[in-house]
Homo-oligomer: A and B are copies of this chain.
Amino acid sequence: MANEPGAPLRVALLGCGVVGSSVARMLVEQADDFAARAGAPLEIVGIAVRRPQRPRPDVPVDPALFTADAEDLVTRADIVIEVIGGIDPARGLILRALEHGASVVSANKALVAEDGPTLFEAATAHGVDLSYEAAVAGAIPILRPVQESLAGDHVRKVMGIVNGTTNFVLDAMDVSGSGFSETVEQAQALGYAEADPTADVEGFDAAAKAAILASLAFHTRVSAADVHREGITEVGAADIAAARENDCVVKLLAICERVTADGQDAVSVRVHPAMVPRSHPLASVREAFNAVFVEADAAGELMFYGRGAGGDPTASAVLGDVVAAARHRVAGGHGPRESAYADLPVVDMGQAVTRYHISLDVADRPGVLAQVAAVFAEQGVSIETVRQQPGPEGEDRARLIVVTHRATDAALSATVTALAALESVAAVASVMRVEGA
C-alpha cells in the first residue's frame, strides 16, 4: 500500500452536505498543512453527491469534481471519506472502496453500529485502514483514546452524553420548566433538532454510539440491536421537578458497563434517561454539548468534553482520521484492527444493576408506608432513603419519594409494577434511574 514518496494521495469524498462541505473546504484551505502533516499532498479527485449539478458556492473546488457516480469514484482513490450517512448505499460503497485498496474514513455511526464487523474484516483483508472517530461525539477525540490510550488499562464503565439534541431539550426543560413537546419545537426552530427528531429523541442515535463505545472499551462485538434503548419522549415535567428536588438533572445517557451475570463477566449496554447529581461532571454539560465519562481501573475517572455535532467540529474528527490514514499509506503500517477477543456476553436490561428514584402519590393514612416498604422487600430491593411530603391541600394524599440501593433492573421494574397495583398508591408520579451517585 506504500505510496510513492511525495506523490499526492487521491481523496474521494462521498457526500457534501453539512459535514462533507466542511471537509472539502478544510482540505482545500489548509492544503499545505495537510501535505506537511500527512507526508504527501491530499488531492480531492471527486465528490459524490445526489445532485451533482447543484451550485455549492461554499465549497471551493472545481465544479467538475462533483459526480453522481460514487461507484466509479471509489475505485479511483487512495482515501475515501464517507459522509453520506445511512446504511445503503454507504455500506456497499465502503466495501467497494476497501476492496479496491483504498483506506476509508467514515462518520457513519448507524452503519458501524449495525454492521461494523463486516467492514472491519474487509479492511483487514485488504490491509487498509477503516476509521470512524467522527461517528461518536463529533469533535471530541474519544474513540482513539479508548481504543489506543486506554489499551493498557481495564475500562469499567463509559457513560456519555452523546446526543446533542436530547441534551439541548432536557437542559431547556430543566431551565424553563416547560414540557417535552414545546421544548422540541423550540429546539427545531433553533436548528438543534431535525424536522423528524425520532432518531434523536427515541435514543436510536445514542444507541448506535453506545454500541461503538462498548465494542472498543470491552474488546467485544456489540451492535445497535444489543443496546437497551429508552428515549426521552416519556420524560415529563414531573421527572424534571423530581430530579431538581433531589439536586439532580435529567440526562440521556449512553452507558457501557462491565457487570457480573450468573457469575460470569459480561457487559451491559444501554441508553436511557437518568438522574445525575448536580455535582457530577456530566451534570454541567449544557445545551447541545457532548461529554463522555470513563472509569478505568488504573486511570481512574476521565472526562472528555466538546461539541458533538456540526459541520466543522465533525470535519475536525474526520480529518484527524484522514491524516492518520495518509501517514500509514506514506510511511507504512495501519491503525489498530478490530479487537474483539474478550467476546463478553451482553446482558439483558433486566440483569443490569441500577438504582431507581420513585415518586408515588399515596393515600395519606397510617400503614401505607409499611405496605409500600413491604413491596420493596418482596422484590429484594433495599431502600436507601424515603421521604414523605404532604400532598395538595384538601386532598387525602401524600407524596412518597423513594431512592433505592443498587438492584437488578428486573427487580426494580417489578417493584414499580407491584407498587402501581397497590390500592393505596394513587399514581406513580415519576420513575427514573439514578447514575453517577
Interface size for A (C-beta < 8 A) is 59
Query: A219: which of B36, B150, B315, B317 is its contact (CB, 8 Å)?
Result: B36
Is the CB of A298 closer than 8 A to any CB of chain B? Answer: yes
Chain B residues lying within 8 Å of A342, measured Cβ to Cβ, are: 33, 36
Contact A302 B141 (CB under 8 A): yes
CB <8 Å contact, A144 and B149 = yes
Taking CB atoms and an 8 Å cut-off, the chain A residues in 134-193 that contact chain B are: 139-141, 144-145, 148-154
Q: Is the CB of B305 within 8 A of A152?
A: no
Contact status A320-B151, CB under 8 Å? yes
The answer to whether B150 touches A320, judged by C-beta atoms less than 8 angstroms apart, is: yes
Is A36 in contact with B339, judged by CB distance below 8 angstroms? Answer: yes
A334 interface residue (CB < 8 Å to B): yes
Chain B residues near A333 (CB-CB < 8 A): 328, 331-334
Pairwise interchain contact B306-A152, C-beta atoms closer than 8 A: no
A430 CB-CB contact with B under 8 Å = no
With a cutoff of 8 Å between Cβ atoms, the chain B residues found around residue A323 in the complex are 148, 151-152
Chain B contacts for A306, CB-based, 8 A:
299-303
Say whether A327 faces chain B, with CB atoms less than 8 Å apart: yes
A297 contact set on B, CB distance < 8 A: 312
Instruction: Kindly identify, within residues 251 to 265 of chain A, every residue whose CB is under 8 Å from any CB belonging to chain B.
Output: none
Number of copies: 2
> Residue A133 at the B interface, CB < 8 A?
yes
**Contact yes or no, A149 B284, CB < 8 A:** no
A residues 335-386 touching B (CB-CB < 8 Å): 336-337, 339, 341-342
Find the B residue at minimum CB distance from A334. B333
Are the CB atoms of A320 and B153 closer together than 8 Å?
yes
In angstroms, how far is the closest chain B Cβ from the Cβ of A334?
Answer: 6
Closest B residue to A42 by beta carbon equals B152
Among A22, A152, A327, A332, max chain B CB count under 10 A is at A152
Does any Cβ of B come within 8 Å of A26's Cβ?
Answer: yes
Contact with B along A306-338 (1 / 0, CB 8 A): 110010110111111111100110011110110
Give, as a whole number of angstroms, the nearest-CB distance from A344 to chain B. Answer: 12
CB <8 Å contact, B26 and A152? yes
- In the complex, what's the smallest C-beta–C-beta distance from A340 to chain B, in angstroms? 10
Contact A151 B37 (CB under 8 A): yes
- Beyond A144-B148, A284-B284, A303-B304, list 18 extra A-B contacts (CB 8 Å): A33-B154, A37-B341, A133-B149, A139-B299, A139-B302, A141-B145, A141-B149, A151-B319, A152-B320, A299-B306, A299-B307, A301-B307, A302-B305, A302-B306, A303-B305, A331-B334, A332-B334, A333-B334
